[in-house]
């Protein structure tokens, strides 16, 4: 059997097939055995492997099916979105007359709040916290350093409360969940931004020293300023929270409902957070030595509570919160009532110096817009914060200095320069911090705060910043390291109308 002569035309009944025989002749194997694998012997006119036409048909059918499925899902999505939008518009229409909340502080300002309907079950609640690393939210935002407390603050917004109501509820929660950071035994600064007036108000509810305190009372016994009964100041937390509720709350949510979520946690028991467990473990020896701290020892293990363990032992605090929640005048009950008597009695029995007069004389301070520290930045942006003794002016000074520089964030050299400028700006600003203090004792503290947040001071600092670092005295002020502060928390809230609250609370541990 020999291959057809390629010089002769093939039969009119045969299909033209190109064969490939590139093997040299003369070998011991036949020509048929040397053929490429996809073709048969030369006497066959068709390849052994048939064309894959059936596979092409299957692919086409699959593509058509997927296209139909995609269009079906698209139509369903549009239909459900339309239905949801229709229901949402109905709810907003019914609640239109309830869309504003009037503040109780003179001059009168308006704080709008979220529409809310207790009886509407057709619409979903807000989803859980966003997983966005940039913290982008569509309606409002509550940021506390404990997830449970953030949810409590969010739920107050859903009940019709404003940012102030939400912050109060979240702070009560933080005082329990992270009791090493804040609580009704401490104090806070709260800054309130009113979106209607575009002005800020500050409430100074920080602790104050007892009347019996002296300048040299901790000399040669510095531990007494941090540990023991003489380390405790007159608390301002509750006075501030109630004042903020009365002056700036929405009026839509009752006082007792701001405490109820935390009361439920105390009553049912709550999990020990990692942050609280860390603080308890670091001070376990002292906790075992102090009888009044026994509530932080797990009766089942004999050790301080570990992460995740349920705390059900804080019965005294539970009873205190119930009294405050049901009180018509919580400030009077806590600062001049039976609760005060119990607190003072316990301090006296343990050689503390707090007295009834200390509590009775305490007042939180409301700073109107004229006394708030403002900084104007480019592009219509601005910052506001508390006057001294708060350190807000220092943070504002750094932002003010940095606002005058321009950077190409795609350039490695510019990013390097940005960090250098930030460090140098911080040095100048913290140097100025050494001259700040409580205006009750440092008469020019507020003037200094306003000076370092001015445009002129920022320009002066930028003119002093070079490509190099300098000795400490180049920046002015004192660079003595301040004591580390582990007992502090911060809560930030923006409601749906743009009203905002920024509050720093502490027990100064």
Question: Where is the binding site for L-glutamate, in residues?
Answer: 206, 506-508
Q: Which residues lie below 8 Å from residue 201, measured CB to CB, with a gap of 6+?
A: 105, 191, 192, 194, 248, 366, 367, 368, 369, 372
| Tokens found for residue 90 | 């109905």
For the chain, what is the largest distance between any 2 Cα atoms, rounded to a whole number of angstroms?
Answer: 125
Of the candidates 457, 428, 454, the one whose C-alpha atom is nearest the C-alpha of residue 375 is: 454
Planar angle of CA 303, 308, 313, nearest 5 degrees: 55
| Tokens found for residue 278 | 């860390």
Q: Using CA atoms, how far apart are residues 181 and 488, in angstroms rounded to an integer?
A: 5
Residue 112's DSSP bridge partners are: 100
Of the candidates 99, 105, 119, 110, the one whose C-alpha atom is nearest the C-alpha of residue 160 is: 99
In the set 197, 417, 446, 488, the catalytic residue is 488
The residue assigned the tokens 């020892």 is: 297
Helix/strand/coil percentages in the chain, nearest 5: 45, 10, 45
- Please provide the distance, in angstroms rounded to a whole number, between the alpha carbons at the two ends of the chain: 102
The residue assigned the tokens 């009791």 is: 179
Q: Name all contacts of 78-85 with Cβ < 8 Å and 24+ positions apart.
A: 84/123
The residue assigned the tokens 């966005």 is: 132
CA 227 to chain centre: 30
Is 97 a catalytic site residue?
no
CA 252 to chain centre: 25
Q: Using CA atoms, how far apart are residues 478 and 471, in angstroms rounded to an integer?
A: 12
DSSP 139-165: S-EEE-SSHHHHHHHHHHHHTT--HHH
Q: Could you tell me which residues are annotated as the binding site?
A: 206, 506-508
Q: Using CA atoms, how far apart are residues 473 and 455, in angstroms rounded to an integer?
A: 23
Q: Using CA atoms, how far apart are residues 505 and 187, in angstroms rounded to an integer?
A: 6
Q: Answer whether 196's CB lies under 8 Å from 182's CB.
A: no
CA 356 to chain centre: 37
Q: Name the residues annotated as catalytic.
A: 488
């Amino acid at each position: 059997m020999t291959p057809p002569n390629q010089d002769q035309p093939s039969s009119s009944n045969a299909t033209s097939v190109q064969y490939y025989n590139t093997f040299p002749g003369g070998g011991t194997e036949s020509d048929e055995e040397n053929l490429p694998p996809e073709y048969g012997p030369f006497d066959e006119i068709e390849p052994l492997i048939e064309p894959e036409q059936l596979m092409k048909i299957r692919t086409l059918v699959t593509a058509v099916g997927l296209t139909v499925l995609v269009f079906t899902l698209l139509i369903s999505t549009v239909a459900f979105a339309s239905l949801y939008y229709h229901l949402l518009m109905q709810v907003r229409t019914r609640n239109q007359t309830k869309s504003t909340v009037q503040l109780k502080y003179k001059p009168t300002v308006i704080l709008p709040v979220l529409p809310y309907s207790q009886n509407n079950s057709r619409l979903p609640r807000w989803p859980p916290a966003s997983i966005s690393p940039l913290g982008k939210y569509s309606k409002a935002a509550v940021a506390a350093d404990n997830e449970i407390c953030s949810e409590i603050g969010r739920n107050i917004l859903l009940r019709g409360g404003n940012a102030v109501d939400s912050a109060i509820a979240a702070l009560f929660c933080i005082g329990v969940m992270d009791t090493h950071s804040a609580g009704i035994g401490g104090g806070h600064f709260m800054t309130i931004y009113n979106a209607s007036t575009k002005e800020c108000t500050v409430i100074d509810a920080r602790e104050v020293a007892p009347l019996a305190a002296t300048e040299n009372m901790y000399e040669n016994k510095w531990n007494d300023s941090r540990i023991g009964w003489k380390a405790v100041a007159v608390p301002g937390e509750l006075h501030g929270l109630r004042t903020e509720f009365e002056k700036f709350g929405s009026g839509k949510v009752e006082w007792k409902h701001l405490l109820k979520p935390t009361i439920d946690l105390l009553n049912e028991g709550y999990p020990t957070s990692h942050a609280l467990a860390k603080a308890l473990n670091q001070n376990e020896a002292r906790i075992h030595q102090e009888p009044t701290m026994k509530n932080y020892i797990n009766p089942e293990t004999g050790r301080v509570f570990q992460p995740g363990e349920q705390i059900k032992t804080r019965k005294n605090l539970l009873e205190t919160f119930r009294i405050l929640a049901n009180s018509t005048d919580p400030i009077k009950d806590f600062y001049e009532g039976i609760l005060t008597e119990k607190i003072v009695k316990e301090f006296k029995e343990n050689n503390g110096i707090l007295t009834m007069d200390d509590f009775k004389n305490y007042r939180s301070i409301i700073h109107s817009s004229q006394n708030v520290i403002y900084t104007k930045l480019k592009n219509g942006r601005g910052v506001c914060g508390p006057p001294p003794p708060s350190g807000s002016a220092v943070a504002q000074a750094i932002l003010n200095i940095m606002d005058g520089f321009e950077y190409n964030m795609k350039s490695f050299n510019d990013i390097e320069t940005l960090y250098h400028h930030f460090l140098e700006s911080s040095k100048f600003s913290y140097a100025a911090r050494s001259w700040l203090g409580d205006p009750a004792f440092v008469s020019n503290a507020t003037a200094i705060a306003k000076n370092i947040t001015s445009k002129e001071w920022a320009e002066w600092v930028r003119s002093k910043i070079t490509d190099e670092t300098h000795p400490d005295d180049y920046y002015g002020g004192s660079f003595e390291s301040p004591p580390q502060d582990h007992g502090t928390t911060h809560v930030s809230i923006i409601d749906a109308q743009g009203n905002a609250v920024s509050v720093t609370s502490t027990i100064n541990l």
